[in-house]
Amino acid sequence: MLQALLPLAARAQVASLPPVPDSLRAALKATPAAGAARAAVLLRIADAYWEPFDSAGVVQYAEEAERVARRARQPVLAGRALDLRGNYYREAGDVSRALALLQQAGSLLRTAPSAVQANYRYHLGMAHGDLNQPAQAFQLYREAYQLAGTDADLWAEILNSRGILFARQNRLDSAAVNLFRAVRLHHRRGNRGSEAAALGNLALIYAQQKRWAEAAAYTRQGKALETALRDTVALATSWLNLGTVLLNRDSARAALPCLRLALHLQQRVHLTGAAPITWNTLAKAYEHLNRPDSARYYFAKVLAQRRRIGRPAELSVALKSLAGFYLRQGQWPQAESYARQVLALPRQALESNQVLDALDVLRQVAAHRRDFAAAYAWQTRAQTLRDSLRALADTRITEEQRARYETDRAEARVRELTQRQQVTELRSQRQLLGAGLAAVLLLALGAVALQEYRRRQLRRELALRTRLSADLHDEVGALLTQISMQTDLLEAGVHAPAQQQAQLREVAATSRRAATQLQDVVWSFDARNDAVGSLLDRLRDHAYEVLQYGDATITFAPDAASETTVLPVETRRALYLIFKEALANIQKHAPPAAHIQVALRTAGQRLTLAIADDGPPSATGSGRASGHGLRNMQARAEAVGGACRTGFGAVPGQPGFGVLVEVPVS
């Protein structure tokens, strides 16, 4: 009995929803009253209501799809329904509700296919962008782009949204690049409506850059597409954009018919939300044409509409526009009145530039009345606000950099701990294996030697890994961190243009140092470089790179018989670092045109490296090298069982300053 009633209850529930589109009636009728198939069809119906943007159709069918999916224990379908509802509320302007729904969807879509996750992250990124959270938005856009696979349509939408987000941050060049790529992708895919929208956004970017010819050209391209598509809503926006561009080019007479046509199209399709923008632009056009009565009429219409809505942020823009208009008309009391109304609004609802503009109007009004004390007070208040905004911006940038740096450090620490854990596990496994072998081969004397050999090999391997990790971290990691922080500061626009050039040169120099350090580390641990001949090649490369722009010359005198001698890794590395230190000291203190002699000799089980110049002895003592340099060279030689001497005459037969290193080779 109960089972028989369930289909009737389901049909009654669907009947209470908006009508099902004709194209989906058969699909809905063919599905059971419950289950994954039912939820999937309900989602298709909700999506069909998206194009006309019918709130009842989208929201109610998405809610029903979520309910059915949860009963069928289908988390992905439930997550898609929440994602659809969240994206609808974002488009409708209710971003807070949208974000809450999208965050719920995230926990249900963890196992969803990549394409579904890509769309979800894109929608969540747009919500964060609308909430003025660009860092989160850009990260989500990157993730969505990577998950999109070969979905070029989604790529284009992501690029368009990235461009809009860059524009909000006043990073207009980056905005233009992303929007241009979006236009090209939409054009290739034949998405004419989306292409027209991206062209309109691109036109607005060029208008902000005062590149009027490009702005007008892209606006006309978009308008031509919308005309062919008979898209009245988009056409209204295009005519408004074209009028705005013409107005900014001081062509108010040409802009006026475009703006009137935009207003007519908006009224035809009941775009009431866009009308105040058109009224405001019309008012500016009439003011440019010296028709103040018409300008005042449209400015007043905007203000009346904003008062009815009651949103302080939008009301402040309308009040500020009227204050500026009356100021330009020389009607000082009215200008002062509207400016004071701006300052009377709740401070948390106002943008800083609105407050600054209102303070500037009040300063000019006070100066006109010759009340210079009041004018100075308004100016001081504005300057205090600017200083506060600058300090907040600096603090925000610093905190973002610190947070990013701390995050990088934490991630590096996690990687280090993971590596240590893996090494410990490896050691434990090998020790257990050795113990097992020792127990099985207890009577075989060779088992003990084999086990000890393996332990030595393990210790050597672990020591090598530790040294390699330390070298990469100490020598390369610090330089890469410095490059990252320098580029982040450049991206944030903290420095003036002249300082940015200096910063760029410093980034380039740091990058070259990091590349050189990385090459040194890789070379020193590569077993193919163990021969003395390989070491000699590396010494030559470094010497010619260091001395290529100076007057000093260098000659290498190797012992041909020793070039095939194999050196331990640590010995080869120590000799290379001693050579670098010695060459740096000789280059720093030698006469400008000095000649440097380098010799490598093998005698028995000892290898000798001699570096010396032909400069005269110094009057200040026997050594040019700094205290740290001398100690470093000696310490490196002693660490591999060798010795190091420095000073004038240290190399036999060479009167100049020299460094003589002797190390064992077996």
Which residues are paired to 595 by β-bridges? Answer: 553
- pLDDT for 68 equals 92
Query: For the purposes of burial, counting CB atoms within 10 Å of the CB of 167, is it exposed (0-12), middle (13-18) or buried (19 or more)?
Result: buried
Name the burial class of residue 85, with classes exposed (0-12), middle (13-18) and buried (19+) by CB atoms within 10 angstroms of its CB. buried
- Within 13 Å, how many C-alpha atoms sit on residue 179's CB side? 24
Task: Express each pLDDT in 169-196 by its tens digit.
Answer: 888 888 888 888 888 888 888 888 888 8
The predicted-structure confidence for 74-122, as pLDDT tens digits, reads as follows 999 999 999 999 988 888 778 888 889 999 999 899 899 999 999 999 9
Determine the pLDDT at residue 12.
41
pLDDT, one tens digit per residue, over 192-201 is 888 888 888 8
- In order of 429, 450, 474, the CA distances from 425 in angstroms are 6, 21, 26
Q: Comparing 58 with 123, which gets the higher pLDDT?
A: 123
With 50 as the cut, is the pLDDT of residue 13 above it? Answer: no
Q: Is the pLDDT of residue 1 over 50?
A: no
Higher pLDDT, 229 or 533: 533
Quote the pLDDT of residue 388: 80
Token pair, residue 97, equals: 């509700």
Cα Rg for the chain, rounded, in angstroms? 37
> Contacts for 625-629 with beta carbons within 8 Å, 24 or more apart?
625/581, 625/582, 625/585, 625/659, 626/585, 629/581, 629/584, 629/585
- Return the pLDDT at 571: 85
Q: What pLDDT sits at residue 227? A: 75
Q: For the chain, give the mean pLDDT.
A: 78
Residues 605-655 pLDDT 10s: 888 999 988 877 754 444 454 556 778 888 888 888 899 988 888 888 887
d(CA 416, CA 466): 10
User: 520 near 560, Cβ under 8 Å?
Assistant: no
Give the model's confidence band at 455: pLDDT under 50 very low, under 70 low, under 90 confident, else very high. low
Give the residue-averaged pLDDT of 491-517. Answer: 66
Q: Average pLDDT of 375-404?
A: 73
Residue with the bigger pLDDT between 587 and 468: it is 587
With cut-offs at 50, 70 and 90, classify the pLDDT of residue 438: low
Residue 484: pLDDT band with limits 50, 70, 90? low
- Sign of the dihedral defined by the CA atoms of residues 254, 259, 260, 264, in that order: positive
Max Cα separation, the chain? Answer: 113
pLDDT for the residue numbered 415: 60
pLDDT at 307: 86
Q: How many CA atoms lie within 13 A of 513 on its CB side?
A: 16
Are 124 and 140 spatial neighbours (Cβ–Cβ below 8 Å)? yes
Predicted pLDDT of residue 618? 58
Query: Would you place residue 152 in the very low, low, confident or very high pLDDT band (cuts 50, 70, 90)?
Result: confident
CB-side neighbour CA atoms (13 Å) of 365: 23
Strand 595-603 to strand 553-558: parallel, antiparallel, or no bridges (unpaired)? parallel
SS3 289: coil
CA distance 421 to 424: 5
9 has a pLDDT exceeding 50: no
158: left (phi over 0), alpha (psi -120 to 50) or beta: alpha
Which has more confidence, 479 or 247? 247
Q: Which of 32-41, 145-154, 315-324, 648-657 has the lowest mean pLDDT?
A: 648-657
Judge whether residue 513 has pLDDT over 80. Answer: no
Q: What is the pTM of this model?
A: 0.46
Q: How far is the C-alpha of 321 from the C-alpha of 181, rounded, in Å? A: 35
Helix (H, G, I), strand (E, B) or coil at 611: strand
Q: How far is C-alpha 520 from the chain's CA centre? A: 30
